Structure 1
């Protein structure tokens, strides 16, 4: 018995038609999406905790690195958790629902690191300028005292 919503690979003409062919109500896909949302919320909530974000970044990159192996295992055991066989040998599905969201979170972490680095650089430059102003003021006071004594 063939699922009436089933779309043959040759019927897919573009990426959007591919996305529309996915049954997004499959419980494991809902769980995967929830995991990605939770990861994004965690990434945003910990943007000022660099050590945790380094750990999260390394775990996310490791997961993306292992996506090919995950795809092979899921292709062999898809019937135990999914209604349809999504896991193609090219890895389009695993890239779409697993790797791309993970890599977007990694980019978000890198963006947070760049922002924090920029803020630190601004603080450092302000402190340097403030120190220079204080030194200039001390110099002016010393020069004014020397001018009075002459």
Structure 2
């Protein structure tokens, strides 16, 4: 195991068996996936509304920040909404089905912001170069006009 190229697939297989043991038809899990899909669509459809996206981003990060508290609350009250107890003390389940999709949406939003900022910088630089060319052209025209007079 000291070989740096060695990959331990037993942890991955354990994770896959964990995912296979989840009852994905549980109504609250379906509602959670609808929530994640709605957040994804909201992030996509509002990509040109910076203020709204900033608020959405902040709320999503707050949800991830408080996921440990949500996990504890869900762990004590799981019988109210779930058929099985998924909420372990390590927080693996809530990290996989709640926090990870939220963080992926946040990364997509940051990627969109970076793309938009590069487009804006490109547009700005192009406008600056065009303005400089216009000024140089006007200066040349003025110099030629003074030479001819």
| TM-score when normalising by structure 2 | 0.89
Confirm whether residue 148 of structure 1 aligns to residue 148 of structure 2: yes
Confirm whether residue 40 of structure 1 aligns to residue 40 of structure 2: yes
| Unaligned stretches of 5+ residues in structure 1 | 1-11
| Unaligned stretches of 5+ residues in structure 2 | 1-11
Equivalent-residue separation in structure 1 for 2:146 and 2:71 (angstroms): 79
How far off is 1:25 after superposition? 0.3
Counterpart of 1:4 in structure 2 is none
Equivalent-residue separation in structure 2 for 1:56 and 1:14 (angstroms): 34
Equivalent-residue separation in structure 1 for 2:14 and 2:148 (angstroms): 84
Equivalent-residue separation in structure 2 for 1:13 and 1:147 (angstroms): 83
Equivalent-residue separation in structure 1 for 2:143 and 2:55 (angstroms): 54
1:1-150 equivalence runs, <5 A: 13-149=13-149
Equivalent-residue separation in structure 2 for 1:13 and 1:88 (angstroms): 19
Helix, strand or coil for the counterpart of 1:58? helix
Helix, strand or coil for the counterpart of 1:122? helix
Helix, strand or coil for the counterpart of 1:14? helix
Equivalent-residue separation in structure 1 for 2:120 and 2:13 (angstroms): 48
Equivalent-residue separation in structure 2 for 1:20 and 1:31 (angstroms): 19
Equivalent-residue separation in structure 1 for 2:36 and 2:13 (angstroms): 27
Helix, strand or coil for the counterpart of 1:108? helix
How far off is 1:146 after superposition? 2.7
